[in-house]
Amino acid sequence: MLRKENIGAAGTTRPSSMDFPALLTVLRENWSTKLDWGTTVAVVIDGVLCIGWQDSNFVLGLSTVHTVHEASSLVTSKRNRPGATSTNARITREVFGDSPFKLLEISSFIDDYNHHMNSVDLANQYRQAYDTQKIAYRTWIPLLHWVLDQAAINAYKLASVGKAWLESHVEFRRELYRKLLDHSKLLEPQRWREPGPHNWVVRPKRQSCAMCCKKEKLRKKVLEQHRDSGIELLIAQPKVKRPEKSWSGCDFCDVPLCKTSSSFEDWHSQKS
């Protein structure tokens, strides 16, 4: 499926899968200390390369992008001789003879794996820090959150690698949610823009005036932006009164508005 979408993937695996070639499973379970170092066994199943490679252990892997039979499938890599007490030292040290290091031809799959292993673990770590998962009973919800989380991390990684983002991950997340919240404004119903009729009515509940609340929010936002940019505000901000509670409001907009100030007029002459 991945290759059909032009996505390559490679990784190590456990031999528990039903489709995994029995030969490799047997080698892993019974022969992993008896093969020569570098022994490579590969089987293709459904276009996926299943590979077994003898290092200090018999490593099992799957790949949709590697081959083992072309010249390009081998790379030369300088390896240091493992210590005498390392795992299965007999197998790994034999290759080196008396030299402390040696240039070894190894499968590009293994080379890629060594260089990029833990990528998945890293992705998990990145995701874990700012996980949006929550308990849900619909099966698609965790998938949706996974996609969102991963998209945010990919955006961060791409931006940092491309030097478009030079700050920390947490700062990236802050910027991301600020920008997303800016967008959310556009979706708010703006009934005050519509012709109406807008009438003063008495409402069933006494609630905080919508216009006063909005002004207060705006004031806080301005203060926050100044604080973020490191500017100390020397001029005292004109403080809006604590949002007044009111029994009345506009019936068309369905919002509470106070009568004590210009809230009704202000509400209906908003620009955004």
Question: Which of 24, 41, 60, 253: binder of Zn ion (CB under 5 A)?
Answer: 253
What six digits make up the tokens of 227?
């604080």
Task: Evaluate the CA torsion angle 58, 64, 67, 72 in order and state its sign.
Answer: negative
**27 in contact with Zn ion (CB under 5 A):** no
CB < 8 Å & 24+ apart, contacts of 65-72: 65/8, 65/9, 65/10, 66/10, 66/107, 66/108, 66/109, 66/112, 68/40, 68/42, 68/107, 68/109, 69/42, 72/108
Segment lying near Zn ion (by CB under 5 A), choices 1-9, 57-65, 121-129, 262-270: 262-270
Segment lying near Zn ion (by CB under 5 A), choices 6-14, 35-43, 197-205, 220-228: 197-205
Does an H or E element contain 252, and which? none
Number of residues that bind Zn ion (CB under 5 A): 10
- Give residue for tokens 């892997």: 61
CB of 212 to Zn ion, least distance (A): 3
Q: How far apart are CA 37 and CA 58, in angstroms?
A: 9
Q: Which parts of the chain fold into alpha helices (H)?
A: 22-30, 89-94, 108-116, 119-129, 140-161, 169-187, 210-228, 263-268
Segment lying near Zn ion (by CB under 5 A), choices 78-86, 89-97, 170-178, 202-210: 202-210
Given the complex with Zn ion, which of 163 and 242 has the nearer CB atom? 242
The closest of 48, 47, 52, 67 to 15, measured between CA atoms, is 52
104 C-beta neighbours (distance < 10 Å), count: 15
**247 in contact with Zn ion (CB under 5 A):** no
CB of 217 to Zn ion, least distance (A): 13
Q: Which residues, other chains included, contact 253 with Cβ-Cβ below 8 Å and sequence gap of 6+?
A: 191, 192, 198, 210, 267, 268
CB of 202 to Zn ion, least distance (A): 15
Which parts of 50-89 interact with Zn ion (CB under 5 A)?
A: none
Question: Which of 198, 203, 214, 219: binder of Zn ion (CB under 5 A)?
Answer: 198
CB of 268 to Zn ion, least distance (A): 6
What track of x and - describes contact with Zn ion for positions 206 through 235 (by CB under 5 A)?
Answer: ---x-xx-----------------------
CB of 250 to Zn ion, least distance (A): 3
Which parts of 113-172 interact with Zn ion (CB under 5 A)?
A: none
Binding site for Zn ion (CB under 5 A): 198, 209, 211-212, 244, 250, 252-253, 258, 263
